[in-house]
Structure 1
Amino acid sequence: MTVPESDERLAERLATEAGAILLRLQADSGLDGKALGKAGDEQANAFLMQSLRAARPDDAILSEEEQNDTRRCAVSRAWIVDPLDGTREYGEGRTDWAVHVALAIDGVAVVGAVALPGLGLTLSSGAPVKLQPAGSPLRMLVSRTRPASEAVAVAREVGAELVPMGSAGAKAMAVVRGEADIYLHTGGQYEWDNCAPIAVAQAAGLHVSRADGSPLAYNCADPYLPDLLICRAELADRVLALVRALPAA
């Protein structure tokens, strides 16, 4: 008798396989820059949509590369995917890009896999990473192109070094992997940018929330989810207090 594939295993397998498609395209297509990024988005999305519809026909899907069909909000189980998180980094031949595959149940990110194909890694909520001791000094991740002023201000207060990096998934997984301690984002994201990273991070025992400390909610009619905090649990209260003390924009 064939054992049904678990949600955790499905997410991990699809993220890894989509990453392999993207690596082959990067190596063999002769494309680069925006043209490579566009082709990568299209091919990875087509693979994930076809695979999820075949494996979980009764579930809803929200993808960055698909039209937002709000009928999904009436479905308890919704797969939330970003076929290529960090299109710019991918097109530039960098390694700080990712593939996100997540499952939200009743609005909560419960299953997630983040593939880092450029590093040959896939991290999954089904196989939580053992956290390493905090660094000294602390390290805070920021966008390599648009560091958020709030993150810079908080980093200054806690004496953290700034670590510029590309995609949201790469930054979140850097905290999971012990390469950084805090990822505070306030510059605008969507559900597909962070659902899978949040599932992986919380499975590893990290603090995850909105920047004001409130829970992250998924499968909403409007998928805009502009801010988040992923950090070591012992740092959360201090970081959240500093964020609340910042002057209103």
Structure 2
Amino acid sequence: MPDADAEKLRLADLALIAEAAAAAGRIALGFFGNQPRAWTKGADSPVTEADIASDRYLHETLLAARPGYGWLSEETADTPDRLTRERIFIVDPIDGTRGFMEGSLDWCVSVAVVAGGRPVAGVLAVPARGELFEATLGGGARLNGHPLRAIAPEAGAGLRFSGPMRHQRALAGAGLAMGERRVTPSLAYRLALVAAGRLDVATASPDARDWDLAAADLLVHEAGGTLHDAAGRPVRYNRPDPRHGALVATVPGLAEAAAGPVGRAEVEAERRRRS
């Protein structure tokens, strides 16, 4: 596909998913604070009727507009069909469901279009905060229409961090000066805060899934930051197994310094689990 045609498709996909994510966010917002019905799936993962309503709307709306695209969502049964598609929607209808249930404002609707294993368009709708993050590959990242830039911290400033405590301890142990720690129930929103310049480092423990990451990954990279695994490799999407290992998102200049300590922290955590 010629570059001009590819860019045109990315922009069309962005317009589609931005409108759909915002509408799904409004659906979920109607349940927010109103004690929606909830249950547990898997080992200990909460889901509410708001998740299902948002997911149903996104599934119907997006695939009606792009019937040739694949589909991967936290709240839809996975099938191998997606692996055969050139493009795929990767969706989390509510990222941060536990926080949503507890009244936190830091939950979001995450929608990405992935092609060739990497996101090419991504949106996070954060309706309780009135925020809409958008990005396209090569087109930059924006928050409510304003360009985003992940900016390196000033020399000597403590790093603004969000992630597991063991990662914070590992970063401090590696000689990085730690400042404010922010707790967010949504991993996608946590990563987006790096893109927005509100955090310097955000980390994820192993077992994050494609739907937690894809849209936020593009936001971080298009804002000038990085998201990578503990070995410094970029994240690949739409593989048979959507799970990932420990991940680190940083503003410029911190990638190598942060990745090593986080990787060692996860090795130590695994050793303790097995002992």
Q: With structure 1 as the length reference, what TM-score do the two structures score?
A: 0.88
How far the C-alpha of 1:53 sits from its partner, in A, is 0.9
Distance 1:155 1:39, change over 3 A: farther
The residue type equivalent to 2:25 in the other structure is G
Q: CA deviation digits over 1:128-156, x for unaligned, max 9? A: 113345262111102xxxx2523431144
Distance 1:33 1:71, change over 3 A: closer
Q: Give the distance between the partners of 2:90 and 2:68, measured in 1 at CA.
A: 14
Give the match for residue 208 of structure 1.
227
The residue type equivalent to 1:41 in the other structure is D
Q: Give the distance between the partners of 1:55 and 1:151, measured in 2 at CA.
A: 43
Count how many residue pairs are aligned between Structure 1 and Structure 2.
Answer: 241
Q: With structure 2 as the length reference, what TM-score do the two structures score?
A: 0.80
Distance 1:176 1:155, change over 3 A: farther
Residue number among 168, 181, 202 corresponding to 2:200 in the alignment = 181
Give the match for residue 7 of structure 1.
13
- Structure 1: runs of 5+ lacking an equivalent: none
SS at match of 1:164: coil
Distance 1:152 1:13, change over 3 A: farther
The residue type equivalent to 1:66 in the other structure is T
Q: Give the distance between the partners of 1:22 and 1:44, measured in 2 at CA.
A: 6
Percentage of pairs with the same residue: 27
Give the match for residue 245 of structure 2.
226
Question: After the TM superposition, which residues 29-44 of structure 1 pair with which residues of structure 2 at under 5 Å, given as runs?
Answer: 30-32=34-36, 34=38, 38-44=48-54
SS at match of 2:38: helix
Question: After the TM superposition, which residues 158-197 of structure 1 pair with which residues of structure 2 at under 5 Å, given as runs?
Answer: 158-161=176-179, 162-197=181-216
Q: Give the distance between the partners of 1:16 and 1:244, measured in 2 at CA.
A: 35
The residue type equivalent to 1:154 in the other structure is L
1:81 equivalent to 2:99? Answer no
- Structure 2: runs of 5+ lacking an equivalent: 1-7, 40-45, 142-147, 271-275
SS at match of 2:254: helix
SS at match of 2:56: helix
1:110 equivalent to 2:120? Answer yes
Give the match for residue 273 of structure 2.
none
Residue number among 128, 133, 137 corresponding to 2:158 in the alignment = 137
Residue number among 64, 68, 72 corresponding to 1:62 in the alignment = 72
Q: Give the distance between the partners of 2:21 and 2:69, measured in 1 at CA.
A: 17
Give the match for residue 28 of structure 2.
22
